[in-house]
């Protein structure tokens, strides 16, 4: 079975752990958001690709929720002493090794989609990672009086400055990375991870041609709600949803993605059992919904969410 997943960082990697665990023999491909990427202190940072790579490799820091396990911050201390970089944005030493390696390959002229396998080949991830695009399409946030990179809005301001809009800078000239359209066309099942609908899944679907490829696949497309009981599970995605006029609820996010039968991207949608009441409004929009537990807390619950998503897809 070929399973293709659209994914952001934290929600994406937890869901991918479940897919890999439930379907160890499947051919799993993740199309990963690059909107959070940026050049910083001379290196290219790719937070969502790295979060997924570290998590699937068992190298992620589970207590802190980001970065590498066993991390140290000696280089960050030196950068701070030189006054270089953002004092509120700490890059660990091991993490910087990844950024240096990626930057080395990018500067040698390779596109990101060729750099990713060179980095991931070090570990047995069990999932093929594809960046959504090779172009540098970065998410910027428009706020009162200006605009900033998503990373500054999210990490420095903790998403507390009201966002007026999100701009995917450079998106109009971008195309899906090599392999992305084929991974959708050849899939038996396409899944939307419970990732941020605006700056993760939204930034992936904004790449010209990508949403059309989701609409064109013969595979069923099923999404998993990142919203449980009217709240985000981790992070501050509600601030992103508010900015685009979507309320923080499992049904509002499904209606925002829309039914494939009505120019949207979904055939099916999983909501948490706490959001049972969302099933009917989602169904009336032409999206088959089911209520199942959606907390990705441990291996067993993650694998069960993956099975529920794939089984809903295969039943459509
Ligand atoms: P980011 O790129 O690191 O921000 O991560 P993603 O975009 O992949 O995912 C962020 C979203 O994951 C948040 O909106 C959370 O609500 C959602 N999320 C995190 N943990 C869980 C979970 O256990 N269950 C569900 N259903 N959603 C989760
Ligand atoms: Ca992200």
pLDDT at 150: 97
Taking only the tens place, the pLDDT of each residue in 47-68 is: 999 999 999 999 998 888 778 9
Residues with a CB atom less than 6 Å from ligand 1? 7-12, 14, 48, 51, 193-196, 200, 224-226, 228, 232-235, 237, 294-296
Distance (Å) from CA 232 to ligand 1 centroid? 7
d(CA 289, CA 296): 19
Taking only the tens place, the pLDDT of each residue in 144-162 is: 999 999 999 999 999 999 9
Q: Is the pTM of this model over 0.75?
A: yes
For residue 268, which of 302, 218, 221, 303 has the smallest C-alpha distance? Answer: 221
Confidence class for position 234, pLDDT limits 50, 70, 90: confident
Alpha-carbon 240 to chain mean position: 14
Burial of 300 (0-12, 13-18, 19+ CB in 10 A): exposed
Confidence class for position 235, pLDDT limits 50, 70, 90: confident
Looking at the predicted structure, is the pLDDT value of residue 295 above 90? yes
Asked if residue 153 belongs to a domain, the reply is no
Question: What's 35's domain CATH number?
Answer: 3.40.50.10680
Asked if residue 157 belongs to a domain, the reply is no
Structural domain count of the chain: 1
Looking at the predicted structure, is the pLDDT value of residue 43 above 90? yes
Taking only the tens place, the pLDDT of each residue in 64-94 is: 877 899 999 999 999 999 999 999 999 999 9
pLDDT at 64: 80
Asked if residue 164 belongs to a domain, the reply is no
Domain with 70, as residue range(s), is 2-135+171-315
Looking at the predicted structure, is the pLDDT value of residue 206 above 90? yes
pLDDT at 316: 95
More confident: 142 or 236: 142
pLDDT at 10: 95
> What does pLDDT average to over the chain?
97
d(CA 235, CA 258): 24
Residue among 51, 226, 246, 257 to mutate when testing ligand 1 (max atoms within 8 A of CB): 226
Asked if residue 156 belongs to a domain, the reply is no
Among all bound ligands, the one having the nearest atom to the CA of 302 is 1
Residue among 5, 6, 7, 11 to mutate when testing ligand 1 (max atoms within 8 A of CB): 11
Taking only the tens place, the pLDDT of each residue in 125-146 is: 999 999 999 999 999 999 999 9
Asked if residue 148 belongs to a domain, the reply is no
Taking only the tens place, the pLDDT of each residue in 253-286 is: 999 999 999 999 999 999 999 999 999 999 999 9
Asked if residue 47 belongs to a domain, the reply is yes
Asked if residue 144 belongs to a domain, the reply is no
d(CA 130, CA 205): 14
Asked if residue 147 belongs to a domain, the reply is no
d(CA 305, CA 135): 32
Q: Which residue bears the tokens 């419970």?
A: 194
pLDDT at 65: 77
């Amino acid at each position: 079975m070929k399973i293709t997943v659209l994914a952001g960082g934290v929600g994406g990697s937890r869901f991918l752990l479940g897919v890999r665990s439930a379907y160890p023999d499947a051919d799993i491909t993740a199309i990963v958001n690059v909107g959070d990427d940026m050049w910083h202190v001379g290196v290219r940072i790719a937070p969502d690709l790295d979060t997924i790579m570290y998590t699937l490799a068992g190298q992620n820091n589970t207590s802190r929720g980001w970065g590498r396990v066993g991390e140290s911050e000696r280089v960050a201390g030196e950068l701070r002493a030189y006054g270089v970089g953002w004092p509120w944005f700490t890059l660990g030493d091991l993490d910087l090794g990844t950024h240096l390696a990626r930057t080395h390959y990018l500067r040698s002229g390779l596109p990101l989609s060729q750099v990713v396998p060179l980095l991931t080949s070090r570990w047995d991830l069990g999932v093929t990672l594809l960046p959504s695009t090779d172009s540098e399409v970065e998410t910027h946030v428009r706020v009162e009086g200006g605009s900033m990179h998503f990373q500054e809005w999210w990490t420095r301001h903790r998403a507390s400055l009201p966002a007026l809009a999100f701009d995917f800078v450079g998106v109009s000239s971008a195309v899906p990375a090599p392999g992305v359209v084929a991974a959708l066309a050849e899939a038996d099942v396409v899944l939307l991870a419970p990732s941020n609908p605006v700056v993760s899944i939204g930034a992936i679907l904004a790449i010209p041609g990508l949403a059309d490829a989701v609409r064109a696949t013969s595979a069923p497309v099923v999404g998993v709600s990142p919203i449980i009981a009217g709240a985000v599970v981790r992070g501050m995605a509600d601030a992103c949803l508010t900015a685009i006029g979507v309320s923080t609820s499992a049904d509002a996010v499904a209606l925002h993605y829309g039914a494939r039968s009505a120019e949207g991207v979904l055939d099916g949608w999983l909501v948490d059992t706490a959001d049972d009441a969302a099933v009917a409004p989602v169904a009336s929009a032409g999206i088959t919904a089911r209520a199942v537990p959606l907390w990705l807390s441990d291996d067993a619950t993650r694998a069960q969410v993956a099975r529920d998503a794939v089984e809903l897809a295969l039943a459509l």
